[in-house]
């Protein structure tokens, strides 16, 4: 386990019981609303949320789509909280780069404001490609900042905060991860600090 993963576990373990009221919870709320809007799953389809936090997004998707829902998160306390709140959803501890499910398991995979925490985002995309069924959908929401702000955040703010952040993604780099890992890009949403990319497994 690398240092950033340790920072992430420590931070989100501490936020688990009151995540929605935290800065992170309030910041990610608008992403979740848009991801939910973009998420379309056939009745009874299987959906996985990677970095599920307290489970609010995957529960909303389950309710909207009548989906079979699953969530993974690096924080054991978050997973414990998920299980208390949503006993009908299966939750597991995972860092998001080693997804503990079989190949071709899911119709849709979502990841909200987590990609910039991952040590190896390329590995996440390969895992997403593996666990999604042919034609399955991947929806990635992550922060975006202008070039100067991005570099200040990457090299100054993130190391000082010790919150487990790695590097913020540019629009082109995020879309490139889709295209370079066997996905077509089917929809892109950008507004302010939000960027959400939806793709289809080829």
- The Cα–Cα gap between 31 and 121 comes to 19
Strands 106-112 and 90-93 come out as: unpaired
Whether 195 is in a domain gets the answer yes
Q: Is 173 helix (H, G, I), strand (E, B) or coil?
A: helix
Angle in degrees, 0-180, between the axes of helices 3-15 and 76-85, rounded to the nearest 10: 40
Q: Which two tokens stand for residue 17?
A: 């019981």
Whether 167 is in a domain gets the answer yes
Whether 123 is in a domain gets the answer no
Give the pTM.
0.91
When divided into structural domains, the chain yields a total of 1
Whether 151 is in a domain gets the answer no
Q: Which two tokens stand for residue 12?
A: 């989100």
CATH number for position 52: 3.40.50.150
- The Cα–Cα gap between 62 and 70 comes to 9
Q: For the chain, 202 residues long, give each residue's pLDDT as a single digit of tens.
A: 777 788 789 889 999 999 999 999 999 999 999 999 999 998 889 999 999 999 999 999 999 999 999 999 999 999 999 999 999 999 999 998 999 999 999 999 999 999 988 888 999 999 999 999 999 999 999 998 655 544 434 444 444 344 444 577 889 999 999 999 999 999 999 999 999 999 999 9
- The Cα–Cα gap between 92 and 151 comes to 33
What length is written for the chain? 202
pLDDT confidence of residue 11: 87
Domain of 107?
Answer: 3-34+46-116+128-138+162-201
pLDDT confidence of residue 145: 67
* Average pLDDT value for the chain: 89
Whether 147 is in a domain gets the answer no
Candidates 110, 116, 115, 104; CA nearest to 137 is 110
Whether 191 is in a domain gets the answer yes
Whether 64 is in a domain gets the answer yes
pLDDT confidence of residue 163: 41
Whether 154 is in a domain gets the answer no
Long-range contacts for 78-83 (Cβ within 8 Å, ≥24 apart)?
78/12, 78/13, 78/15, 78/16, 78/19, 78/52, 78/53, 78/54, 80/16, 81/16, 81/17, 81/19, 81/54, 81/55, 82/52, 82/54, 82/55
pLDDT confidence of residue 161: 43
């Amino acid at each position: 386990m690398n240092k950033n993963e340790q920072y992430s576990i420590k931070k989100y373990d501490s936020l688990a019981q009151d995540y929605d009221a935290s800065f992170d919870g309030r910041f990610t709320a608008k992403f979740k609303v848009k991801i939910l809007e973009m998420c379309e799953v056939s009745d009874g389809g299987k959906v996985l949320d990677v970095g599920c936090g307290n489970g609010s997004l995957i529960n909303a998707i389950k309710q909207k789509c009548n989906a079979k829902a699953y969530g993974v998160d690096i924080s054991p306390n978050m997973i414990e909280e998920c299980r208390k709140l949503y006993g009908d959803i299966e939750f597991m501890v995972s860092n998001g780069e080693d997804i503990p499910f079989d190949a071709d398991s899911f119709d849709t995979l979502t990841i909200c404001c987590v990609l910039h925490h991952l040590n190896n985002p390329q590995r996440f995309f390969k895992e997403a490609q593996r666990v999604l069924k042919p034609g399955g959908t991947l929806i990635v929401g992550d922060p975006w900042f202008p070039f100067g702000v991005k570099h200040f955040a990457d090299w100054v703010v993130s190391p000082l905060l010790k919150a487990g952040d790695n590097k913020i993604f540019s629009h082109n780099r995020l879309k490139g991860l889709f295209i370079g890992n066997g996905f077509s890009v089917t929809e892109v949403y950008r507004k302010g600090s939000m960027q959400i990319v939806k793709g289809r497994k080829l």
